[in-house]
Structure formats: structure tokens, C-alpha cells
């Protein structure tokens, strides 16, 4: 969502929870220890181990009273460091289908020389916690582990069975993906009526005040394609029009100039309807016209000035990597590019391929890269989900609006949706207008936001579990 949209709504600053180490209650300290252990366990693809992180979380669940039969560790021999776990807290009413809590343990690469602080040492400074994974996604993973421990310690079990899946491979397309493996090989372990995942969240304005909360209902599918041109080449002193680099460049310019058609899901329609009043009058009016007629090119042009709104309206494809030529003084024999697409729910990998092939022309070979993501299936705007999200939010964050959104990125939810488990990215953690360094340098989260998110998500799980 756009910064302007997030900042347009205003809300009272919520009470600070667990603001300092000195004022934390024993149960907050126990949660913080879980969170700290996760952040300080390196789970990058290059040097880390999700298997180690899963074992540490499993040990914490066992200390909370879970038996060996309640926890399943999983991995494959080819990827021994990419393992995860599934934990189950049985409910009292077996007529209710289980719910699933999903989070990924892996994090984006982080080099010490680039960061102001060690990315794998949790540092508390000026009201923020710094570390790789501080937000994405170890805050949610720690909350889910803490939630199961707290539910286990309750006087009575929840009515609904609560499952937890901690997986690896979400951050790297080419990596072995634990959520995908579970969906294909052990769907029984994660079978659930619905799942709660990352993807939603809250936004603070520039002053740190809560502005808006987002409930993710649907996401795009990420898919990479290769554009390739082969040519006999020759001496650069005798250039010819038939040049692999130029042919590739022409194809990429065609992709750059192509706008995929405007589409709406129930979620994006609700998002735009809720958003138009908070935007500039010209943009709000254009949204109204576009909702009435998705083929209104003039309205599309106005709305699409904002890159986030543009991406929310359609499939997008963009060149991200280039490789061409073999010598300074030779005509190129080969030129290739990677084109990264974010495919709108309901549209397919093959359909997008056909469009790219048409744009590229006959001299450029376009192929689908492995792995191939499933078609994005948008879950329903189900009142059984949206109702508790809003009602619990009203108690924790009065007057902060909750807006349904579709992620223009992708999460592991897409693999569960492929086996008929609707996945919702629930709010909870509030982040800053700059995104808190997620996937970038010096990732951080407000201390207040971490503990507020813990409390909100625990109460949300209780509302769903009974």
C-alpha cells in the first residue's frame, strides 16, 4: 500500500507495552527470550540453519509441556539445514476443524560489513530492536511459539485444535521450500480450515502514531522467466543489424511498455473502495471510474502513477538480471535476461508466458524458470475471519481502521491455498513508513510494536480457537 494511504488515516497512540527490559513481566521476559534466540540463530541460506532454529523452538515447546508426539520435525537429506517443525495442540471439540499458524524461519542474507550492528545479535536501542528477521518473519514465529505455550498452560484446552508450522525457504525462490514440501508430501500434518500467516500488519505514521491495519486476503504468485537470444556473432569491427543485445533490448522494451489488463478480486475491490476517500480527489475519482469500468485507460493512468496501486491492479513483469556478450571486441553470441513477474490471482504462469512470448517476438526465446509457483487463489473475504480480526483490533487499537489488502509480493501461503487451505495475513505488528529495513540494512522493530503484536495475536488466536 502507498505511504500516503497508510499515513492518511490517524489514530491515537496505543499504550506502550513492555517498553523496557526493567518493566517486563515474567511472561513477557519468557517471550522475549524466545524472540531473541530466534533472531540470534542465523537462518540465511548461505550460512545458517533453519533446522537448528526449529530444534530450539521445539525445545521451548517441550519445556512448555508438549510431548514428543505433539511435535514433528521435517527435512530432506538433500537439504539437512532447511528443516522445520509442525506442532499440534489438540482441541476439546473434535468436530471443529483445526486452525494453522504459519511462519517462516529463514531470513534474507545480511553481511556484517554492511550493517551498523551485528545482524545476528539482537540490539535494543532508542526504543527499537535491531537484527535480521526482527520483523520478517521471526517476530511472528516467536509469537506463534509463545502463543502455543500460553495456550498449553491454560486451565482448559482450546475448543479448536491449533497447529503451528515453522518452515524454511520462503525468502529464496530457488531454495527447498518447507511449506511446499508439507503441502505436497504431508498435507495431513497441516490440514486446517484456515491458516494465519504473515502479510498483513500495521503502519505507523512519521511520528510513530498508529495509522492503519491491513488484513492480507490474497496475494500474487511470483514467477521468473528467461529471455534468451543466440547469434553467430562475429568481429565487432563489422557490425550488423542482427545483434543479440539489441534484439534482447527490443524485447525488454516491449515488456516495459506493456500494461497487463486491470483486474479486481473481492479483496482489491474492497481495498480500493475503502481507500479512495483517503487519497487525493483526482485519484479517488479515478478509482471510482475504474471500479465501474476496468477498461477506462484514462482512469488507469491516473491511479497507476502510484507504483503500489499500479501493482495492485494487475499482473506486473519487470527485467531484473542481464547477461550478454563474451568479449569486448566481438559481436555478442548470446544475451539473456531474467524477467520477474507477479501474477494476479486467477491468472496463470502459462498465460503470462504466452503474453511475454508475443511481446518478445520470434527472435527471442522465452521460457519459464523453475520452480513454478501455483496459480494464486484468493481466499474469500469471510466474515468468520474478518469479524474476529476487526473486533479484537477494536479492543487493542481503538479507532485504527482495518483494511483488506492483496499482497503484491508473495508468501508461502500460496502453497497451502493450492491444497484448499485459505491463508490470511493477519495484522499485529506496526512498522514505520520506511518499512523498517525489511530485506535491507539494519532491520528493526519498535519494542512497543513487538509486544503489542504479541498481545493482539494471542487474543486473535484465542478468538478463533475458542
Q: What is the CATH number of the domain that holds 337?
A: 3.30.70.360
What is the sign of the dihedral through the CA atoms of 409, 412, 415 and 419?
A: negative
pLDDT of residue 409: 84
Residues 6+ apart with CB under 8 A from 297: none
On whether both 62 and 182 belong to a single domain, the answer is yes
Tens digits of residue pLDDT in 329-360: 999 999 999 999 999 999 999 999 999 999 99
Cα distance between residue 98 and residue 421, in whole Å:
11
Helix axis angle, 447-465 to 383-396, nearest 10°? 140
**pLDDT of the residue at 11:** 30
Widest distance between CA atoms in the chain? 84
Q: Are residues 192 and 52 in the same domain?
A: yes
**Residue 318 CA, distance from chain mean position:** 19
Average pLDDT estimate for 121-129: 97
Whole-number Å distance between alpha carbons of 75 and 152? 26
403 with 212: CB under 8 angstroms? yes
User: Are residue 33 and residue 78 in the same domain, yes or no?
Assistant: yes
* Residue 144 CA from chain centroid, whole number: 16
Instruction: Give the structural domain span for 174.
Output: 3-219+376-465
10-57 per-position pLDDT tens digit: 233 333 344 567 789 999 999 999 999 999 999 999 999 999 999 999
Specify the DSSP class assigned to residue 166. E
Asked if 211 and 346 sit in the same domain, the reply is: no
Using one digit for the tens of pLDDT, what is the confidence trace for 89-112?
A: 999 999 999 999 999 999 999 999
The Cα 79–Cα 145 span in angstroms is 24
Q: How far is residue 120's CA from residue 107's CA, in Å, rounded to a whole number?
A: 11
Q: Which of 323, 356, 375 is the last residue of a domain?
A: 375
In a shared domain, residues 70 and 125: yes
Give dist(CA 220, CA 315) in Å, integer.
8
Q: For residues 367 and 244, what is the distance between their CA atoms, to the nearest angstrom?
A: 17
Chosen domain end from 276, 308, 340? 308
Q: How far apart are alpha carbons 414 and 436 in whole angstroms?
A: 25
pTM of the model: 0.89
pLDDT digits (tens, 9 = 90+) for 151-169: 999 989 999 999 999 999 9
Per the prediction, the chain carries an average pLDDT of 93
User: In 3-state terms, what secondary structure has residue 239?
Assistant: coil
Q: What is the pLDDT of residue 21?
A: 73
* Confidence band of 320 (pLDDT split at 50, 70, 90): very high
Handedness of CA 278, 280, 284, 287 (dihedral sign): negative
Residue 446 sits in a domain whose CATH number is 3.40.630.10
Question: What pLDDT band is residue 278 in, cutting at 50, 70 and 90?
Answer: confident
Same domain flag for 108 and 73: yes
Assess whether 333 and 457 both reside in one domain: no
Domain end among 349, 375, 401: 375
The reply to whether 74 and 181 lie within a common domain is: yes
Taking residues 195-222, what's their average pLDDT?
A: 93
Chain centre distance of CA 124: 25
> 155 with 66, same domain?
yes
Spatial distance between the Cα atoms of 89 and 162, rounded to a whole number of angstroms: 5
User: Structural domain tally of the chain?
Assistant: 3
Q: 175 and 256 share a domain? A: no
- What is the predicted pLDDT for the residue at 8? 33
Across the range 318-326, mean pLDDT stands at 97
Q: Same domain, yes or no, for 212 and 190?
A: yes
DSSP line for 396-413: HSTT--EEEEEESS--TH
Neighbouring residues of 138: CB distance < 8 A, sequence distance ≥ 6: 35, 38, 39, 103, 105, 107
**Are 391 and 463 spatial neighbours (Cβ–Cβ below 8 Å)?**
yes
Instruction: Answer yes or no: do 195 and 173 share one domain.
Output: yes
Residues 287, 275: contact at Cβ < 8 Å? yes
Amino acid at each position: 500500500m502507498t505511504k500516503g494511504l497508510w499515513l492518511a488515516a490517524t489514530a491515537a497512540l496505543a499504550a506502550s507495552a513492555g517498553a523496557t527490559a526493567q518493566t517486563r513481566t515474567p511472561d513477557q521476559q519468557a517471550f522475549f527470550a524466545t524472540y531473541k534466540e530466534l533472531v540470534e540463530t542465523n537462518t540465511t541460506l548461505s550460512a545458517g540453519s533453519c533446522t537448528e532454529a526449529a530444534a530450539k523452538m521445539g525445545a521451548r515447546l517441550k519445556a512448555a509441556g508438549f510431548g514428543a508426539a505433539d511435535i514433528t520435525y521435517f527435512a530432506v537429506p538433500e537439504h539437512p539445514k532447511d528443516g522445520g517443525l509442525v506442532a499440534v495442540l489438540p482441541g476439546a471439540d473434535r468436530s471443529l476443524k483445526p486452525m494453522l499458524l504459519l511462519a517462516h524461519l529463514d531470513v534474507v542474507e545480511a553481511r556484517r560489513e554492511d550493517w551498523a550492528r551485528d545482524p545476528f545479535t539482537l540490539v535494543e536501542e532508542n526504543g527499537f530492536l535491531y537484527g535480521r528477521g526482527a520483523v520478517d518473519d521471526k517476530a511472528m514465529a516467536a509469537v506463534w511459539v509463545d502463543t502455543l505455550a500460553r495456550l498449553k498452560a491454560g486451565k482448559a484446552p482450546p475448543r479448536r485444535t491449533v497447529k503451528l508450522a515453522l518452515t524454511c525457504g520462503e525468502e529464496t525462490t530457488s531454495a527447498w521450500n518447507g511449506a511446499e514440501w508439507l503441502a505436497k508430501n504431508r498435507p495431513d500434518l497441516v490440514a486446517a480450515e484456515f491458516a494465519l500467516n504473515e502479510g498483513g500488519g500495521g503502519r505507523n505514521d512519521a511520528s510513530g502514531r498508529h495509522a492503519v491495519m491491513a488484513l492480507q486476503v490474497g496475494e500474487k504468485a511470483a514467477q521468473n522467466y528467461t529471455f534468451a537470444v543466440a547469434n553467430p556473432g562475429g568481429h565487432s569491427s563489422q557490425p550488423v543489424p542482427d545483434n543479440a543485445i539489441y534484439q534482447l533490448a527490443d524485447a525488454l522494451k516491449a515488456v516495459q511498455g506493456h500494461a497487463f489488463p486491470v483486474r479486481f478480486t473481492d479483496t482489491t475491490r474492497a481495498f480500493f473502495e475503502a481507500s479512495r476517500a483517503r487519497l487525493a480527489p483526482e485519484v479517488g475519482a479515478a478509482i471510482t471510474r475504474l471500479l465501474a469500468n476496468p477498461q477506462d485507460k484514462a482512469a488507469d493512468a491516473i491511479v497507476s502513477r502510484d507504483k503500489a496501486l499500479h501493482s495492485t491492479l494487475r499482473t506486473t513483469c519487470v527485467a531484473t538480471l542481464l547477461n550478454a556478450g563474451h568479449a569486448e571486441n566481438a559481436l555478442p553470441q548470446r544475451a539473456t535476461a531474467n524477467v520477474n513477474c507477479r501474477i494476479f490471482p486467477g491468472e496463470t504462469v502459462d498465460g503470462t508466458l504466452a503474453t511475454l512470448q508475443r511481446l518478445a517476438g520470434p527472435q527471442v526465446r522465452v521460457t519459464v524458470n523453475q520452480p513454478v509457483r501455483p496459480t494464486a487463489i484468493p481466499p474469500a473475504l469471510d466474515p468468520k475471519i474478518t469479524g474476529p480480526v476487526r473486533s479484537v483490533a477494536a479492543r487493542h487499537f481503538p479507532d485504527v481502521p482495518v483494511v483488506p489488502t492483496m499482497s503484491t509480493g508473495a508468501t508461502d501461503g500460496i502453497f497451502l491455498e493450492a491444497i484448499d487451505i485459505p491463508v490470511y495475513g493477519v495484522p499485529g505488528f506496526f512498522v514505520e513508513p520506511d518499512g523498517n529495513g525489511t530485506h535491507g540494512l539494519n532491520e528493526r522493530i519498535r519494542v512497543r510494536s513487538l509486544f503489542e503484536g504479541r498481545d493482539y495475536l494471542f487474543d486473535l488466536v484465542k478468538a478463533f480457537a475458542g
